Amino acid sequence: MNVPADNALDHPDRIERKTTASEVARVLRRRILSGFYPEDEFIRQEIVAQELGVSRIPVREALAQLESEGLVIRVKYRGALVPKQSFEEIEEIYELRLMLEPYLLQHSIRNITPEQIVHLRDIVERSRGTEQVTDWAGMNVDFHRALFEVARKPLALQTLDNLLMRADRYLKMQSFRSTTTKEESDEQHARILDRVEARDIEGAIHALREHISWNATDVRHSLPALAKG
């Protein structure tokens, strides 16, 4: 349902009627990551459709996309909930990653091929070249998955996939506020890869542990709402 013409300028995010679901998702993603929608608040399809001047169909599709990214939780008959950030969840995610990823890495180094290293370097370079938060966050996940797929440990990788998916929401919110995070993370990925290419298991694991620990600290500091006390 479209809003009346005299309200057309009330919403700076208002977009053309031909808008696709991906464009609606872009607007909603920016709102969520910037804190426009408070935690534990429902995003109602009909209100968003009215604000943006579109039907509910692209809004519904956009919310499905954002749910797959971990940015909302859809609740039947109520709308899409912006989930509450959890300090305890962050702590557990990164504690588990510190245990699991070094285990996978030592197996990856034994199996990795020169072609796979080239692929990983390509991910790092593309990550350095993008300015889009969601693209960069996606390539961050791609780097870790590509690095550990060659470990040939499917159960461990399945567990890690779940952890990366849960961490992705915090990473997007963190990187939305900080370009330094992106630059430092890209450099750390490159250092890890240097050690992997040298078949230096001890050095690679050390670089990986530093990367995960740094990222956990940066997430906590970048999200004041999660600070204890």
Q: What is the pLDDT of residue 122?
A: 97
Residue that wins the pLDDT comparison between 35 and 209? 209
What is the pTM (predicted TM-score) of this model?
0.68
Give 159-212 pLDDT, tens digit per residue: 998 888 778 777 766 655 556 778 899 999 999 999 999 999 999 999 999 999
CATH 1.10.10.10 residue spans of the chain: 5-81
Distance CA 161, CA 163 (A): 5
The CATH number for 87-226, chosen from 1.20.120.530, 3.40.50.1370, 1.10.10.2840, 2.40.128.50, is 1.20.120.530
The CATH number for 5-81, chosen from 1.10.10.10, 3.10.129.10, 1.10.8.60, 1.10.645.10, is 1.10.10.10
- Token code pair at residue 200: 């230096």
Q: What is the pLDDT of residue 8?
A: 35
Distance CA 158, CA 166 (A): 13
Residue whose tokens read 């370079």: 125
Lowest average pLDDT, out of 31-40, 58-67, 206-215, goes to 31-40
Q: What is the pLDDT of residue 83?
A: 84
Instruction: Grade residue 51 by pLDDT with cuts at 50, 70 and 90.
Output: very high
CATH 1.20.120.530 residue spans of the chain: 87-226
Contacts for 168 with CB less than 8 Å, ≥ 6 apart = 69, 70, 137, 141
Residue that wins the pLDDT comparison between 17 and 179? 179
- Token code pair at residue 196: 């992997």
40 torsion bin: left (phi>0), alpha (psi -120 to 50), beta (else): left
- Residue 4 pLDDT greater than 60, yes or no: no
- Residue 14 pLDDT greater than 80, yes or no: no
Cβ atoms < 10 Å from Cβ of 213? 13
- What is the average pLDDT across 2-16? 44
Distance CA 172, CA 83 (A): 14
CB 170 within 8 A of CB 223: yes
Q: What is the pLDDT of residue 177?
A: 56
Q: Which amino acid is at 203?
A: G
- What is the average pLDDT across 50-69? 90
Q: Which of 47-56, 58-67, 69-78, 185-194 has the largest mean confidence?
A: 185-194
- Residue 82 pLDDT greater than 60, yes or no: yes
Q: Three-class SS of residue 57?
A: helix
